[in-house]
Amino acid sequence: MNIELIDGLPFISVSISFRGQEITLSNVLVDTGSAGTIFKADLLRNIGVYPESTDSTCAIRGIGGSEIVFFKTVNFLKIEDIQLDHFEIEVGEMNYGFEINGILGFDFMQLAGIIIDTEMLEIHKK
């Protein structure tokens, strides 16, 4: 998976499947400093991701500020051939002041066993 640098930050595209529907999102920040993986609620509504009474919520805080998110387990989250099934993501508004559709957090990176090659600007599976 090739990494695209935008304003000096690493971005990729990911695919998400939920209840039989799939979406590919670009402009997803690769962030080893983010504990969780979060995606923009407006975009995930296109595949039927909405808050439900059984979903957990949490207040998160980061460089972009703070917001309330809900947790949703998706069928899969994948970066090309690197895929995790039944992976829990955070869903929020993500109004951080710049164009971003998601953040690939350390939770995904660690579970998937990925290696980030900063010289070649690529992500590989261990």
User: Is 11 within 8 Å of 27 (Cβ atoms)?
Assistant: yes
Which pLDDT belongs to residue 63? 66
Mean pLDDT (the chain) is 93
Q: Quote the tokens at residue 24.
A: 């590919």
Pick the CATH number of 4-125 from 2.60.40.10, 3.30.56.10, 1.10.260.40, 2.40.70.10: 2.40.70.10
pTM above 0.75, yes or no: yes
Instruction: State in Å, rounded, how far the first CA of the chain is from the last one.
Output: 13
User: Is 41 within 8 Å of 71 (Cβ atoms)?
Assistant: no
pLDDT tens digit sequence for 28-78: 999 999 999 999 999 999 999 999 999 999 988 876 677 899 999 999 999
Which pLDDT belongs to residue 111? 97
Residue matched to tokens 């590989």: 124
Which pLDDT belongs to residue 56? 94
Strands 102-104 and 38-40 come out as antiparallel
pLDDT tens digit sequence for 94-117: 887 778 999 999 999 999 999 999
The arithmetic mean of pLDDT across residues 110-126, rounded, is 94
Q: Quote the tokens at residue 31.
A: 């962030």
Which pLDDT belongs to residue 7? 92
